[in-house]
Amino acid sequence: MPQPYNTYLRETLQTLLREKELERWLAFEESSLPLKPRPVFPETSEACDTVVFNGFCVQNLATYLSRYKGRRIGVLVKGCDRRAIAVLVEEKQLAREDLFLLGVPCPGMLNRTQLLTEFPGLDADQIAEEGGHLSLKISGETRTLQREDYLLPACRVCHHRTPEDVDALLDPPPLDAPETEESFATIVSSVGEMPQNDRAALFASEFSRCILCYACRNVCPLCYCDTCFTDSLTPAWMTASPEPGNIFFYHVNRMMHMAGRCVACGSCEWACPEHIQLHLLFGKITADVRDLFAYEAGIDKDAPQPLSHFSEDDPDEQIG
Amino acid sequence: MSDFGKLDQNMPNPWQPKIVAFLCRWCSYAGADLAGVSRLSYPPTTRVILVPCSSRISSYHIIKALMAGADGVLVSGCHPGDCHYLTGNLLARRKFILLKRLLSYMGVAEQRVQFAWVSASEGEEFAALIKEITEKVKAVGPFRGFLRKDGEADAATL
Ligand code: SF4
Ligand code: SF4
């Protein structure tokens, strides 16, 4: 993101912090890892001076809100952060009026792993994001890449980039990056069309890397239960030993809990230390909920959540 | 005890699938009961677990059954509209359709996890259902999907 944009963002945060009497902001600052900004919680004007926004601010900030319940917090929200907050409000985990939401029209987040694999050692100040392009300065040369080719899978198919129903929206947007035509249905149908054995082998090979660290659960804005089924001892459904049964149990049940709630922010995939393609799972459940119940989490605010509701005309496919 | 072993070895196909059947208390379990008192015979492959309602069953129970050594799982409750608690099976149906789609997408054979509506008066249907799902599970063989960490060997039996 061009530096002037960060200056504009910081000034906006500082003004609003004062004017709206916020206790603190939730936003991003650069971390010690390249292309991996971390959440920051500035309480003062000076502390806002490190805030940045760029194509690597993937993590869903709504995850942190449970620890500030009942306090006046400002949050910098992308489309998916806003949707996660909408689900949390609907589930009575947060009160909307406690929050001040500053929307940022999201240009779609970039795939850090892909960039670092292709360009090892890449650092934030070597990347300039301009419209639909990325310019990389590598040993004196400039390479121009199509932004679209480096988007995270969840962001490629996102059609709710600009958050709705916010208290203020950053204007102008940081970038004018076009959306793609794709949807999760496109991605998952390409897997669904594979022969059964290949699909089994695909997930077996993805899951064979899973170490059951639960990073994907911990980062998820919508996994807020005090006791997760993974930790339940009565009954002990599974253990954290990374064996195929436990891993399968964990992922299938996590997805069933996300059905009709997942906002497809991609934070889980971003957090996974083993680079497991979790979008193949949450994309599937998101696409199915949409297909079967015409529901999108955090968007269809007036409709009841699909799994706490039913219709007598629901499809009965494969059930005899 | 030893007689059983001998009997098994002499049979052309000694392997019989183990199928965990979660049956709702009001319809399917009564249907199984009716099959029993009507002296209908069906394969002894199911291990029945009585539950209050089909909506009591979640993806936990189903996957856990497979982890514990089942080759197949059946969940059965009252026909939609006939739930003793009025709406239990209608809520369950949404959950089951999503789960069924997810499992099959992940490469689990469709025959492994099955759902069926059986009422208390359907003893014959129950016996026929068990015959049918036993054949289906037999066709995909023993479930060893969770035994080994090595991808391909696993996947083949999912
Ligand atoms: S499951 Fe993943 S993509 Fe869905 S809301 Fe949670 S972190 Fe985001
Ligand atoms: S973050 Fe990755 S390795 Fe950790 S539990 Fe989730 S999928 Fe497995």
| DSSP per residue, B71-100 | SEEEEEEPPTT--TTSSHHHHHHHHHHHHH
For residue A271, give the ligand 2 atom closest to its CA. Answer: 1
Alpha-carbon gap: A243 to the closest alpha carbon of chain B (Å): 7
**Is B1 a residue whose pLDDT tops 80?**
no
Residues in contact with ligand 1 by the CB-under-6-Å rule are A 60, 219-222, 258, 262-268, 282
**Better-scored residue on pLDDT, A181 or A154:** A154
Rounded Cα distance, A76 and A155, in Å: 18
Question: What's the confidence (pLDDT) of residue A205?
Answer: 93
The answer to whether the beta carbons of residues A278 and A67 sit under 8 Å apart is: no
**Is A226 a residue whose pLDDT tops 80?**
yes
Question: pLDDT tier at A156 (50, 70, 90 boundaries)?
Answer: very high
User: A120 exposed, middle or buried (CB, 10 Å; 0-12, 13-18, 19+)?
Assistant: exposed
Beta bridge partners of A101: A75
**Is A317 a residue whose pLDDT tops 70?**
no
Minimal-distance CA residue to ligand 1 atom 2: A268
Q: Is any Cβ of chain A less than 8 angstroms from the Cβ of B111? A: no
Q: Is any Cβ of chain A less than 8 angstroms from the Cβ of B47? A: no
Note the pLDDT tens digit of each residue in A34-93.
999 999 999 999 999 999 999 999 999 999 999 899 999 999 999 999 999 999 999 999
Question: What's the confidence (pLDDT) of residue A176?
Answer: 84
Beta bridge partners of A145: A134
Residue-averaged pLDDT of chain B: 88
Rounded Cα distance, B55 and B75, in Å: 10
Rounded Cα distance, B99 and A187, in Å: 19
**Is B148 a residue whose pLDDT tops 50?**
yes
Question: pLDDT tier at B151 (50, 70, 90 boundaries)?
Answer: very low
With a CB cutoff of 8 Å and minimum separation 6, the contacts of B8 are B14
**Tokens describing residue A46:** 């000076």
pTM of the model: 0.92
Identify which of A284, A309, A316 has the shortest CB distance to residue B105: A284
Residue in B with minimal Cα distance to A243: B149
Q: Is any Cβ of chain A less than 8 angstroms from the Cβ of B154? A: yes
Rounded Cα distance, A286 and A264, in Å: 7
**Is B150 a residue whose pLDDT tops 60?**
no
**Tokens describing residue A150:** 């480096």
For residue A215, give the ligand 2 atom closest to its CA. Answer: 1
DSSP, collapsed to helix, strand or coil, labels residue B66 as helix
Beta pairing, strands A24-29 & A51-52: antiparallel
CB atoms within 10 A of CB A202: 18
Note the pLDDT tens digit of each residue in A95-153.
999 999 999 999 999 999 999 999 999 998 899 998 889 999 988 899 999 999 999 99
- Distance in Å, CA B56 to ligand 2 centroid: 28
Minimal-distance CA residue to ligand 1 atom 6: A220
Each residue of A23-56: b (16+ CB within 10 Å) or e? Answer: ebbbbbbbeeebbbbebbbbeeeebbeebbbbbb
Note the pLDDT tens digit of each residue in B50-100.
999 999 999 999 999 999 999 999 999 999 989 999 999 999 999 999 999
Alpha-carbon gap: A83 to the closest alpha carbon of chain B (Å): 22
Give me the mean pLDDT over the A24-40 stretch.
96
Question: What's the confidence (pLDDT) of residue A78?
Answer: 97
Rounded Cα distance, A96 and A310, in Å: 27
Question: What's the confidence (pLDDT) of residue B147?
Answer: 67
Rounded Cα distance, B80 and A231, in Å: 34
Question: pLDDT tier at A33 (50, 70, 90 boundaries)?
Answer: very high
Using CA atoms, how far residue B40 sits from B17, B35, B120, B141, in Å, is 20, 5, 15, 26
Residue-averaged pLDDT of chain A: 93
Minimal-distance CA residue to ligand 1 atom 7: A220
Residues in chain B: 158
Rounded Cα distance, B54 and B90, in Å: 9
Give me the mean pLDDT over the A235-263 stretch.
95
Using CA atoms, how far residue A293 sits from A77, A174, A213, B46, B96, in Å, is 27, 35, 32, 33, 13
Question: pLDDT tier at B123 (50, 70, 90 boundaries)?
Answer: very high
Rounding to the nearest 10 degrees, give the CA dihedral for residues A70, A74, A78, A80: 0
Question: What's the confidence (pLDDT) of residue B9?
Answer: 56
State the ipTM, two decimals.
Answer: 0.92
Q: Is any Cβ of chain B less than 8 angstroms from the Cβ of A307? A: yes
The answer to whether the beta carbons of residues B118 and B128 sit under 8 Å apart is: no
Rounded Cα distance, A102 and A154, in Å: 22
Give me the mean pLDDT over the A268-287 stretch.
97
